[in-house]
Amino acid sequence: MTAPGWRNRGDAAYWAFLVHRISGLLLSLFLPLHFLVLAQALRGEAALGALLRWSQTPPVEASEVALVFLLAAHLAGGLRLLFIEWGGWRAEAQPALLALSGGAAAFCALAFALNLF
């Protein structure tokens, strides 16, 4: 007897589960940084201007692309789970849903990167 898909590390659904959980964790770690940036806007124009100049450096712009990928991956993974839970999708649809959600996340990150640079 084989283990369920989420326990089988060779299964694509397991990796989708990990991407969804890790992206959610990393997004939750980003949120305090976002609030810090918003707080700089309240401190005045000089503080915000310095932060905005720093945000235009290549490492920060690369991290923005990663952030967009994390957001898109988390959203696409969540939608995939909703389709499975509420849509009555069968196991045969899993590979297509996994490919669609991964492709959507990659597309969003690449579109953002092309617009950024």
Confirm whether 82 is domain-assigned: yes
pLDDT surpasses 70 at 2: no
Confirm whether 111 is domain-assigned: yes
What pLDDT is recorded for position 7?
62
What pLDDT is recorded for position 96?
85
- Here the CATH number for the domain that contains residue 93 is 1.20.1300.10
pLDDT surpasses 80 at 102: yes
What pLDDT is recorded for position 13?
81
pLDDT tier at 4 (50, 70, 90 boundaries)? low
The residue range of the domain holding 65 is 12-116
CA-CA distances (angstroms) from residue 57 to 2, 4, 12, 102? Answer: 49, 45, 36, 28
Confirm whether 6 is domain-assigned: no
Confirm whether 4 is domain-assigned: no
State the Rg of the chain over Cα: 18
Confirm whether 64 is domain-assigned: yes
Confirm whether 97 is domain-assigned: yes
88: enclosing H helix or E strand: none
Confirm whether 3 is domain-assigned: no
Domain count, the chain: 1
The mean pLDDT of the chain is 85
Confirm whether 101 is domain-assigned: yes
Query: pLDDT by residue (tens digit) across 46-98?
Result: 888 888 898 889 999 999 999 999 999 999 989 888 888 887 777 777 888 88
Show contacts of 97-105: CB within 8 Å, 24+ apart.
Answer: 98/12, 98/13, 98/16, 100/76, 101/16, 101/73, 101/76, 101/77, 102/16, 102/73, 102/76, 104/72, 104/76, 105/69, 105/72, 105/73, 105/75, 105/76
Whether the model pTM is above 0.75: yes
